[in-house]
Amino acid sequence: MPEETVKETPPEAPRVGVYVCHCGLNIAGTVDCEAVAKYAETLPGVARAVDYRYMCSDPGQELLKKDIRDHKLNRLVVASCSPRLHEPTFRTAAEDAGMNRYLVEMANIREHCSWVHLREKAGATEKAKDLVRMAVSRAMLLGPQVEKMVPVRRTAAVIGAGVAGIQASLDLADAGYHVYLIEKTPSIGGRMAQIDKTFPTMDCSICILAPKMSEAGRHKNIEILTNSTVTAAGGYVGNFVLTVHKTPRYVLKGCTACGDCARACPVVAPNEFDMGLASRKAIYSPFAQAVPSTYTIDRALCLNKGHVMACERCIQACQPKAIDFTQEPADVQLEVGTVIVATGAGTFDPTKLEEFGYRRYPDVITTLEFERLINAGGPTQGHLVRLSDQREPKRVAFIQCVGSRDLRRGNAYCSNICCMETVKDALLIKEHWPDVAIDVYYMDIRAFGKGFEDLYRRAREEGVRFIRGIPGEVTPNGNGTLKLAGENTLLQERYQEDYEMVILSIGLEPQADATDVQRVLTLSRSGDGFFLEAHPKLQPVDTPTKGIFLAGCAESPKDIRDSVTQACAAASRANILMAKGEIHVEAITPIIHDDLCTGCGLCVKVCPYGAIFMEGEGKGRKARVVDAACSGCGGCGAECMFDAIENRHFTNEQIFAQIDAATSRRTPPRGRSSRSPATGAPTPGRTSPASRACSTPRTSASSGRCARRA
């Protein structure tokens, strides 16, 4: 690949415009901006220096453009906030005035100065002057850059097929893109398929989900891969390559889901969909409305191991002859432009909270187990019965915040849904069995969403009691009932109450395989273990990796409405990339100088983005850059012992100039610059080793190898 050439501009003396922003009082309250601007005027190369109240405002930007024209400025230094906020603003203003975007430098005198030295005004002002001096030094050496355009594939991958994944897939498919919907279990649907009713609408959950599942199943643009997991991901935004491991079903598409095979199968195991409260066979469909409806054989349970056929009952029972034990796992490569991660959440296991007796006493169950019991398609056909004796409970208690808001033995965060889940569950019980006494033991009731307060009100109208005081223990009375003992914190009295069923309102937590997903896709996780968004307020569905988005509980606990909202948002974000069909790559990627590159490959080892690779053999082995994958971190340039890597827009010269400026005297002695002679002219290409600012002797001027590294 030929070395990138950048448009050469005729060398001219730099004329730097310095703009010191007040940012209202954010900077000006601590830093004397006027003094900094006055100081900037004294710096070599500075043609104009002013201070201004809000540089990012429209008038501020107009000021920049006007000055560029009127004062023939060819470099800008904006001393203001972090470039993470307004670099695009000032770059665009410069570009509008005819200047290359990359001739703008920012000095952060807010986050790096005024905000961290609030009580040291004099010191902060001096530091701001230093930062501006450094910025001017760099600005003098900046060269124009051209941004590359990278094509974006118009195909998307959605990982996880719960309601969030399904919604995102439908949106993208309707917009015309081909979508791979990848799901690790045998059917799409996720948690929403397990729930009985939704809050606050009291809709039958699977009834409103199934149409979406069905639509996804038959959509011409959606390709569903179930029993599949993403095992590797390469590439970069617009051009991802996902390796998907497909575990076979051992059942062909001709399966009519009649169930004869399951009836014949001799192996019984707990059914995950029913939270282990019911059983399934080794050959099974997870639930009645499964999409795809094709049955699956769980080979871990099946009596046939490898190619040894010990049992053929399903084969014999199957009329359409759809059983096929010869199927093999496959690894497929999917080339996609964008990825949406919608892998959902797991639930907290309350066994470790010994005081509640979960797993010790069968009549202590979780809310998710309750959903399966009360569901007409569940193990008890919707009859709420005690697991101990299958009798209907007359007194039921809910305990809130189990595993959530718990620093010691649970998760520190609030799980968002549990209050409303319980309110809904209580109403469900009352609907069917109005005489059942229901008490909810809580710390707070969070009914924050649309329609939530109404549902909470309805529950209280129906006679559900809300008692503020989490029980300290659940103990058996010996007659089949359970005693809850606690403190009613509003009455300031201890209580002891007996119940026939205790339901623990468990919280959500990251999936057990979240670490694997994170590793494969190089995602970040927040402190609570969920995947991290790029910005909690302004980019809630983006990840720090361009082209990868989040939706649903994978990002944090939330209900169906918010999961669907995020799914639509993620689809929209993916759509932006894919609709344009190409994206700009910021011109901060490395240039490889083949004449210096020895092909050692160290740069490849240190790149966290897989953005650099080796090409060629022997003496012709050289490093090559994948610009779109590169984040401009500079690690490769720092590592290269042969100075063969030049980091565009962050060249060694520019950085040395900043260091020299930082370590020089604030006011140079009269008549002499404190720096070694500035080159003056911009250097768009590379400088020859001899003219570097670094004074460490080299072993050989031609090899450019630094003596320190010899």
Closer to other proteins by Cβ: residue 441 or 656 = 441
Residue 479 contacts other proteins per CB under 8 A: no
Give whole-number Cα distances, 596 to 14, 640, 704, 705, in Å.
30, 10, 8, 9
- Over the window 350 to 389, marking each residue x when it contacts other proteins by CB under 8 A and - when it does not, the resulting string is ----xx----------------------------------
Distance of closest approach, residue 484 Cβ to other proteins, in angstroms: 9
Which of 464, 381, 389 lies closest to 419 in space, CA to CA? 464
Closer to other proteins by Cβ: residue 312 or 444 = 444
Closer to other proteins by Cβ: residue 408 or 672 = 408
Distance of closest approach, residue 219 Cβ to other proteins, in angstroms: 45
Q: Residue 85 in contact with residue 28, Cβ under 8 Å?
A: no
45: Cβ–Cβ under 8 A, 6 or more apart, which residues?
A: 13, 14, 15, 16, 75, 136, 139, 140, 678
Distance of closest approach, residue 487 Cβ to other proteins, in angstroms: 4
Distance of closest approach, residue 397 Cβ to other proteins, in angstroms: 14
Closer to other proteins by Cβ: residue 493 or 617 = 493
φ and ψ of 45, to 5 deg: 95, -15
Distance CA 7, CA 147 (A): 11
Distance of closest approach, residue 489 Cβ to other proteins, in angstroms: 4
Strand 75-80 to 16-21 pairing: parallel
CB atoms within 10 A of CB 412: 11
Distance CA 337, CA 238 (A): 4
Distance of closest approach, residue 403 Cβ to other proteins, in angstroms: 10
Distance of closest approach, residue 501 Cβ to other proteins, in angstroms: 19
Residue 488 contacts other proteins per CB under 8 A: yes
Please give the single-letter amino acid code of residue 664: S
Q: Which residues pair with 535 in a beta bridge?
A: 539
Closer to other proteins by Cβ: residue 406 or 453 = 406
Per CB under 8 A, contacts with other proteins among 54-93 are none
Closer to other proteins by Cβ: residue 267 or 443 = 443
| Tokens of residue 455, six digits | 């549902």
Termini Cα distance of the chain: 29
Alpha helices in 175-230 (DSSP H): 190-194, 205-218
Closer to other proteins by Cβ: residue 350 or 682 = 350
Distance CA 117, CA 425 (A): 53
- Over the window 301 to 340, marking each residue x when it contacts other proteins by CB under 8 A and - when it does not, the resulting string is ----------------------------------------
| Tokens of residue 64, six digits | 């920049």
| Tokens of residue 222, six digits | 């959606």
Binds other proteins by CB under 8 A, chosen from 214, 256, 333, 489: 489
Binds other proteins by CB under 8 A, chosen from 47, 56, 85, 485: 485
Give whole-number Cα distances, 503 to 204, 322, 445, 521, 593, in Å.
21, 42, 16, 37, 67
- Region of 133-141, 483-491, 600-608, 642-650 interacting with other proteins (CB under 8 A): 483-491
Per CB under 8 A, contacts with other proteins among 444-473 are 468-473
Distance of closest approach, residue 553 Cβ to other proteins, in angstroms: 22
Q: How far is CA 29 from the centre of its chain?
A: 36
Closer to other proteins by Cβ: residue 415 or 658 = 415
Residue 493 contacts other proteins per CB under 8 A: yes
Over the Cα atoms of the chain, what is R_g?
Answer: 32
Binds other proteins by CB under 8 A, chosen from 263, 305, 359, 494: 494
501 half-sphere exposure, CB direction, 13 A CA radius: 26
**CA dihedral sign of residues 286, 289, 294, 295:** positive
φ and ψ of 48, to 5 deg: -155, 135
Closer to other proteins by Cβ: residue 160 or 350 = 350
Per CB under 8 A, contacts with other proteins among 418-447 are 443
Closer to other proteins by Cβ: residue 234 or 476 = 476
Per CB under 8 A, contacts with other proteins among 394-423 are 401, 405-408, 410
Q: With CB under 8 A, what is the number of residues at the site for other proteins?
A: 25
Using left for φ > 0, alpha for ψ between -120 and 50, and beta otherwise, residue 232 falls in beta
Distance of closest approach, residue 468 Cβ to other proteins, in angstroms: 7
Distance CA 415, CA 102 (A): 45
Q: Residue 362 in contact with residue 386, Cβ under 8 Å?
A: yes
- Over the window 552 to 591, marking each residue x when it contacts other proteins by CB under 8 A and - when it does not, the resulting string is ----------------------------------------
Binding site residues, other proteins, CB under 8 A: 354-355, 401, 405-408, 410, 443, 468-473, 475-476, 485-489, 492-494
